[in-house]
Amino acid sequence: MHIRLLNVSKEIKFINSLNYHFEDINNPEKFEPVHLIINAEKWPKRLEHGESFYVSSDFSMTLPNVAFQYWKKGFVVYCTCNSSVGESLRSNSVDFDKLMEFMEPINENYKDLAVLLSDKTGGVLRDIEISLWELQVFKRLTVHIVKQLQINNIPIVEHLVLVHHLTTQKDLWYKDLEERKIQPETIEKFLRSLI
């Protein structure tokens, strides 16, 4: 995402770091957490009259982590920042789904598997598809993916306990799962056994 700031006032301004917002266009009163995208920029930026500043933000690490929340749900992304003279600046909005088009697409095997699982379990196709896409991107099973599959009627926790001997103690299974780094092929084999 590229942002351009232009100082059109007659005074020197200092622009503070950028914050990214994810807004539900169907419910703009609902506030989502602000995201700070880390880049190599030094803040604040000094802008004289007529001077402009460009910044590019790499969403490639952020999008996989928030895709389940926002993809295909009518969200837009925009940027805000404040200046040293008390202004609150806001960028144009970009459709979240448009940003996702720049990411690696879900492979066809996972896309087909999502359809079959949705039909078999009654889970939400969109939820299962994005969970499998995250599995593809992260190249390992994560706590978020487990939770997403579980809420879509896929008994992944039971499988992890039975086959991978995952600890079931409250809150310890998160750490246990992350340490194991279970590979996508293992999970795909289990998911295919359900259909």
Tell me which residue of 5, 91, 19 sits closest to 48, measured CA to CA: 5
**Residuewise pLDDT in 10s, the chain (195 residues):** 788 777 888 889 998 888 889 999 988 887 777 777 766 778 898 989 888 888 888 888 889 999 999 999 999 998 888 988 888 888 888 999 999 999 999 999 999 999 999 999 999 999 999 999 999 999 999 999 999 999 999 999 999 989 998 877 766 677 888 888 999 999 999 999 999
Q: Does domain 2-100 have CATH number 2.40.170?
A: no
pTM (predicted TM-score): 0.84
Q: How far is CA 179 from the centre of its chain?
A: 22
Boundaries of every domain in the chain? 2-100, 108-193
Strand segments, DSSP code E, in 1-50 are 2-6, 13-15, 19-24, 45-47
Nearest 5 degrees, angle CA 115-CA 183-CA 68? 50
